[in-house]
Amino acid sequence: MTGTLFLVPNALDFGTADAQSAPADLQEVLPLGVLRIAARLTCWVAENAKTTRAFLKRVDAVVPLAQPLQALQIVELPRPQKGAKAQAPAGLDALLAPALHGLDIGLISEAGLPAIADPGAALVQAAHGLGIPVVALPGPSSLLLALAASGLNGQSFAFVGYLPVDAAERTSRVRDLEALSRRQGQTQLVIETPYRNEALLAALLTALSPQTRLSVSCGLTLPQGWSRTDTVAGWKAAPGSMPKDVPAVFGFLAG
């Protein structure tokens, strides 16, 4: 019998001051059933082993781990080579070997759902190729929470990821995406490293048309989290400020 690859969701507070000083109770953002599954898993594949141990300590405070943290097998996903976007990293089958011997494996990201805007998708693909069952567990996804809170088109949307750092290239990319949004009525979702949140907001306000609706969701699931949607003209009239240490999701829909 083969084991199962469980996609275990993580909290969305990775890297924030709150998570470092006073982590929230995981039961506020993750179902108890998910925590019970996480507590019994002894084999993990992680984006980052250190943050996975921190997550499991938080799990242990709610549901005791089946084995001591030091006894758990936690291996990190190999990083894909630069310029090899279409090629999966080597060695993924070896990471799934415990499942071929009957052990369940947990796949975890640093924040949110594994394999969504996350390198874990390649491991999921490898699991399907080996005939290993894959089960996605329920938990927060910043992209879907932001889309739901935006009031923009949730019937047609695209996650674009990061925009170019170069100002001219970024402006060109934003305008291309806005034109696509206008033609197809499609919401465009983008993200940025938190310390560049303010720069991205300023770039979007400069490049987008005044009537385009822009939504920002910041610190989702956190006590200070917020979402705001307005026209670009409305944002310029009252721009507000962006924190430099809290993740945010930006979305826009051309009129």
* Token pair recorded at residue 176: 């291309």
* Token pair recorded at residue 139: 């938990």
Residues with Cβ within 8 Å of 68's Cβ and at least 6 positions away in sequence, in order, are: none
The pTM (predicted TM-score) of the whole model is 0.89
Where, residue-wise, is CATH 3.30.950.10 in the chain? 142-253
* Token pair recorded at residue 94: 């070896």
Domain 5-136, CATH homologous superfamily name and number:
Tetrapyrrole methylase, N-terminal domain (3.40.1010.10)
Where, residue-wise, is CATH 3.40.1010.10 in the chain? 5-136
Kindly give the parts of the chain with pLDDT less than 70: 17-23, 80-90
Distance CA 233, CA 73 (A): 52
**pLDDT at res. 25:** 83
Fold of 142-253: 3.30.950
**pLDDT at res. 84:** 47
Tally helices (H) and strands (E) across the chain: 10, 10
SS3 5: strand
**pLDDT at res. 87:** 57
